[in-house]
């Protein structure tokens, strides 16, 4: 696929993420794909690398807790088989708890599918949101 086709694929993925259309979103990932979050799972439960099969319930579990959620892409850059995006999120969870974060995600694409996602975000924003939901 061309870099423009890869960019379009990733932007569709992000649109489905924003809409929380998780079945459609995960259909764009190959069966052998991985999704890595910043940090290590022993110190931050959202960190580390997961397979697609592990990511489906994990990401779904996090997103289902929001009454509303938005994922906005501010820029996307494609080169060869990689697409990098800058994005922000805004979500409202239980009891009006607000979640906002900033992201850099790097996608690797192959044969019309996303095969690897590397996600970088503010870990403290996640922990603060979880604390506000738990209170």
Predicted pLDDT at 52: 97
pLDDT digits (tens, 9 = 90+) for 104-117: 999 999 999 999 99
**5 pLDDT more than 80:** yes
Which helix (H) or strand (E) segment holds residue 63: the answer is: helix 52-64
pLDDT digits (tens, 9 = 90+) for 20-45: 999 999 999 999 999 999 988 898 88
Q: What's the CATH number of domain 3-134, 3.40.50.280, 3.10.450.50, 3.90.1150.10, 3.50.50.60?
A: 3.10.450.50
- pLDDT band at 65; cut points 50, 70, 90: confident
**135 pLDDT more than 80:** no
pTM for the structure as a whole: 0.94
Query: How would you class 125 by CB atoms within 10 Å of its CB: exposed for 0-12, middle for 13-18, buried for 19 or more?
Result: middle
d(CA 135, CA 132): 5
**1 pLDDT more than 90:** no
- Mean pLDDT of the chain, nearest integer: 95
d(CA 68, CA 94): 10
Query: How would you class 126 by CB atoms within 10 Å of its CB: exposed for 0-12, middle for 13-18, buried for 19 or more?
Result: buried
């Amino acid at each position: 696929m061309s870099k423009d086709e890869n960019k379009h694929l990733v932007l569709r993925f992000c649109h489905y993420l924003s809409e929380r259309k998780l079945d459609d979103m995960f259909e764009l990932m190959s069966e052998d794909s991985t999704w890595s979050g910043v940090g290590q799972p022993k110190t931050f439960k959202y960190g580390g690398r997961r397979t697609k099969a592990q990511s489906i319930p994990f990401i779904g579990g996090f997103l289902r807790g929001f009454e509303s959620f938005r994922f906005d892409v501010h820029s996307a850059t494609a080169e060869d088989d990689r697409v990098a995006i800058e994005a922000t999120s805004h979500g409202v969870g239980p009891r009006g708890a607000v979640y906002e974060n900033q992201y850099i995600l790097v996608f690797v694409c192959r044969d019309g599918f996303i095969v690897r996602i590397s996600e970088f975000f503010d870990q403290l924003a996640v922990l603060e949101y979880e604390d506000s939901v738990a209170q």
